[in-house]
Amino acid sequence: MHLLYVILIGFFAGLIARFLLPGPNNPRGFILTTLLGIVGAIVANTLGKEIGWYHAGQPLSFVSAVVGAVILLALYRFLSGRDSSSF
């Protein structure tokens, strides 16, 4: 049941992140949107622990999952927008 909860929260966090940062080169589809939200939540949790906002075992909020997904989507856009010949 916990896995289903993680998938649903990740999907909705990914949807909101795609809504906040619309664009033609966003990842599309249910699986990529869900992965965006789940990995965004992991990023937010890790950054929150490093900054001192969260402690081990403390639950992550939905808002921070959305913030992490937005950060991840902005990073994805930044990296995918570059020309491959510049590397």
- Predicted confidence (pLDDT) per residue in 5-50, tens digit: 777 878 888 888 888 877 776 667 777 778 888 888 777 777 877 8
> Is residue 86 included in any domain, yes or no?
no
> Is residue 69 included in any domain, yes or no?
yes
Band (pLDDT 50/70/90 cuts) for residue 56 is low
Under DSSP, the state recorded for 59 is: P
Residue 6: C-alpha distances to residues 16, 23, 38, 77, 83 (Å): 15, 26, 7, 24, 35
> Is residue 15 included in any domain, yes or no?
yes
Residue 69 has pLDDT above 70, yes or no: yes
For the chain, how many structural domains are there in total? 1
> Is residue 30 included in any domain, yes or no?
yes
> Is residue 47 included in any domain, yes or no?
yes
